[in-house]
Amino acid sequence: MKADQSPHRFYLLTCPRTASNLLVKILALEEQPRVALRKDGGYFFSPLHLLKYDLGCVDTHVEELTPDQKEKQKKCMKKCFNELLQHLHHAESEGKLVVVKEHTQFLADPVAETRLLYGQESIAKELPWMLRGREDLVQTMEGRSTENETILSDKFLKMWQPIFVIRHPALSFPSWYRASVRADGKEFAKSARGRRICRAVMTLRWTRKLYDFYSEHFSKSDAQPETKVNHVTWPLVLDADDFITQPAVLVKLCQIIGLDSSKLRYSWEKDVQPRRPGIMAFRSTIDNSTSIDTTKVAGNINLDDEAEKWKQEFGEEIGWMVEKHVRSAMPDYSYLKSRRLMV
């Protein structure tokens, strides 16, 4: 491993409704003596995502942001990055492992997100945004490869060992839509803005692009880290069905990254901490849980049958939208699932 890479940084890269909060519950990171504690397991860039909602520009074309919206986003982006850097410094100064998670969408570069929502040719002059240091946010094409559509530089990403968390889109996408209705109301969810937000979230594009970035990086012999478990190839992929039904998968993960598997937790108390209403809509299931719910697995799903259920539940138009996004994401899901960690 090169000198600028740390063998102690593990990034859980997730999507909404992939049971990643359940994964963090089971891993019991706060009880792992070798891991630096981080509330809720990470989400350093969640404040940036929430700010976009508060500013009313969560789906705004990047070139149509007002100067105030752009300045506030950049300020928040740097603050989020600083908190991540501080966590790294604190953890590594104490010789502890860093195990944190982030939704890949939260890391998406605003230019890349605009291209997804408005078309590849919709950008006239805006250059990608990239964080290079505590107070150093630049707009440039340099410092990132084609597969890196995040706000982080290639150099920074390569300092991590990534663990991608996936779940069948036929479960995660409609689950996200239900939560968005609870958070923002049915009318907003069905509006043009609500549908653009669905398009940004109901996709595995961000995860697949970042996986391919890391896959290319780790394909180089000097980049593949040594582990205590033989025949492990980075980046790692965890599928929700596996860690819900097969405890041995997480035991193996613990062996790979240096966690104590005896600390794995399969029951817990309800989480009653106060949360922002919008966040509560997405956290209600996990916060009210006390153990693993094995009914949440995908198993063998028939998409035609599920599509009919979505139309009955959401109405013809929204049901069709969910179906379209699910089917579009299936090639990426199948690709990632075929590379998942198994026992």
Q: Tell me the CATH architecture of domain 9-337.
A: 3-Layer(aba) Sandwich (3.40)
For residue 70, the number of C-alpha atoms closer than 13 Å in the C-beta half-sphere is 14
| Residue 296 binned pLDDT confidence (cut-offs 50, 70, 90) | confident
Instruction: Please state whether the predicted TM-score (pTM) of the whole model is above 0.85.
Output: yes
Per-residue model confidence as pLDDT tens digits over 39-96: 878 899 999 999 998 999 999 999 999 999 999 999 999 999 999 999 999 999 999 9
Angstrom distance (rounded) from CA 101 to CA 103: 7
pLDDT at site 276 = 66
Are 323 and 170 a contacting pair, CB within 8 Å? no
Residue whose C-alpha is closest to residue 4's, from 152, 150, 155: 155
Residues in the chain: 343
Q: What is the chain's mean pLDDT, rounded?
A: 91
Q: Looking at the predicted structure, is the pLDDT value of residue 228 above 60?
A: no
Beta strand pairing call for 9-14 and 161-166: parallel
- Report, as an integer, the average pLDDT of 232-249: 94
Angstrom distance (rounded) from CA 331 to CA 338: 11
**Radius of gyration of the CA atoms of the chain, in A:** 20
Q: Looking at the predicted structure, is the pLDDT value of residue 182 above 80?
A: yes
Sign of CA dihedral 289, 46, 240, 262: negative
- Report, as an integer, the average pLDDT of 102-106: 95
| Residue 281 binned pLDDT confidence (cut-offs 50, 70, 90) | low
